[in-house]
Structure 1
């Protein structure tokens, strides 16, 4: 059943998240579900019970009943849990001004979620159950690295003893994504976990003496690869294990190819031989009239809808608080530069172990891309993670650890 505009208005006015996301918007959201039409008009951010006509300041979502039936499920299948990917691969489309789309993407996605929470649909989000002590385990400090002839002050946190395990965060984020792993005693009894922030991310401030503010930020592969290699040398690490996610997952395979003698093994979370895609289509992620809120909500769309809600919202907050150019700049390596399709066969897993993990709900580094990388790298392992998306270590750490620990035990046994 498609709710009326009046019913939607009441849902919107009772929802604090939607009201925050629509602030200052005069326009509306129009929903065309097969032959049925619903939606709300917005006047300075306030919902009015009137279905708006198609217009530039109105975001219209349209598609057949069969696509909307999937989108409106309490736990939608992959490619239907978020409007961004649903308009690309989920069978629906959208119209309106592209800048408004990004400005109010969070509001559009929230309205779709409210359609799911109509009386005939129930949501059942799992609360996080992880217990913690008074003080968390990691201790942080800075190390100076010479990268491309420039001194960079790099922040890292560490906990545990044993085999060093370097942890690389995703594009546009920072090392706090690994916080749950630091608290797992089974890991920290045998591994020295070290999570670092890339330059310009988190607590790794820009270099002094470089006029970086006059340059467009763009992450290139040579610079990115040098960070864990130089960090390993500076900290005196002997054949560390490297684990990265997203851009870090690609980096893991890149390091296995170009620096196999530095690392004992690499763990590629959401990795691939190539991601590809349109860099131009994402340019408004750095538009001066589009806030970081859009980036955060877009990242939530990459998570599994069954992952604990508080953890998914933490990902939103982390991305929303980052340096505005960072995400798009990092995506240069992720989407454009990185390509191992013709090189992966050169990786020797007798020299460096390769372990690839792919989450079911990741619509970027998909399960299919992970399998392709596994097939191309002889001797690698592959794990498909059900009910997990693009951020396994931070969106559903307990479930992720169930998948990860067998590989960590295997690595530990190989070093004994």
Structure 2
């Protein structure tokens, strides 16, 4: 028998966030410019596995994807077991900055999707000098909620099944069936109340309307890419946001929905490759 070993390496880093040590799991591959990838609400860093093994990208980028505390292989902080999880803008921002600092990353690129795309905008507003470039997938300053979060953490409902059902319609039609199934499998495995807690940031605390005009892309380039089939963060939401940020580069991705990196990796690659090349070109000017 024979097997294939992927080049991805997984480790833990101990990081202090909000006064408490968090044991954060991350995976990485490649050398060069650090590229930190942020997963969507209620899921984990497995969404980035295809990017992590892309041989062309990993020649020039050190690609790193981590599970936020409470997600995937990153447990809650020791004092928080039994408490309600609720993600805030301040804590989310602190997690990213502390993680990058703990790994001694020199002005990394940060790419986030959905809630990760929203927090990228906050990084651009408040901490742009710390980053080489910022990429928001399915990102906008605000989206009007279209769902009832009360269903996401009930004793009479299977949490994983209902979370996956909620997001299933956000995946573009006619994509690879296996990739669709894998994307939804991640949602079926989320901890109780975690998707709901992430959506507190997305629906309430992370409203950036009226603030994105502060972003100066001369300090840190900003790229916004949204799938044409996304009805959570619609193309109109992203284009409206980009119009408020002089110099922001916005792209609507054909045949993609809310989870481009996992639902159709090959199609997503066609759109992210020029962005990464643009960032590389910017290092040589």
Structure 1: 5+ residue stretches without partners: 1-132
Listed one character per residue, the Cα deviations across residues 69-97 of structure 1 (whole Å, up to 9, x for unaligned) are xxxxxxxxxxxxxxxxxxxxxxxxxxxxx
Match of 1:331 among 180, 185, 199: 199
TM-score, L = length of structure 2: 0.96
Which residue number in structure 2 is paired with residue 224 of structure 1? 92
What is the alpha-carbon distance in structure 2 between the residues aligned to residue 396 and residue 214 of structure 1?
A: 36
Matched, 1:386 2:250: no
- Give RMSD over aligned pairs: 1.2
Q: Is contact 2:47–2:262 with CA below 8 Å preserved after alignment?
A: yes
Specify the alignment match of 1:74 in structure 2. Answer: none
Q: Matched residues in 2 for 1:137 and 1:214: separation? A: 37
Deviation at residue 214 of structure 1 after TM alignment: 3.6
**Paired residue total:** 281
Q: Which runs of 5+ in 2 are unaligned?
A: none
Match of 2:108 in 1: 240
What is the match of residue 150 of structure 2? 283
- 1:340 matched to 2:208: yes
Residues 155-185 of structure 1: CA distance to partner in whole angstroms, max 9, x if unpaired? 0000000000000000000000000001211
Looking at structure 2, the residues matched to 311 and 244 of structure 1 have their Cα atoms a distance apart, in angstroms, of 19
In structure 2, C-alpha distance between the alignment counterparts of 1:177 and 1:268, rounded to whole Å: 15
Q: Give the CA deviation at 1:276.
A: 3.2
Q: State the TM-score, normalized to the length of structure 1.
A: 0.66
Q: Name 2:130's counterpart in structure 1.
A: 262
Query: Is 1:175 the counterpart of 2:45 in the alignment?
Result: yes
What is the CA-CA distance between 1:278 and the residue it aligns to? 6.1
Distance in structure 1 (CA, Å) of the matches to 2:241 and 2:174:
27
> C-alpha deviations, 1:215-258, integer Å up to 9, x for none?
21100110001111111111111110000000001011111111
Could you tell me how far 1:309 is from its partner in structure 2?
A: 0.8
Q: Counterparts of 2:172 and 2:20 in 1: how far apart (Å)?
A: 40
Structure 1 runs (4+) greater than 6 angstroms displaced? none
Larger RCO, structures 1/2 (Cα 8 Å, 6+ apart): 2
Among 191, 194, 198, the residue aligned to 2:64:
194
1:11-30 pair list within 5 angstroms? none
Deviations 1:311-353 (A, max 9, x none): 1111111110110211000000011111222111110000011
In 2, are the aligned partners of 1:243 and 1:269 still within 8 Å (CA)?
A: yes
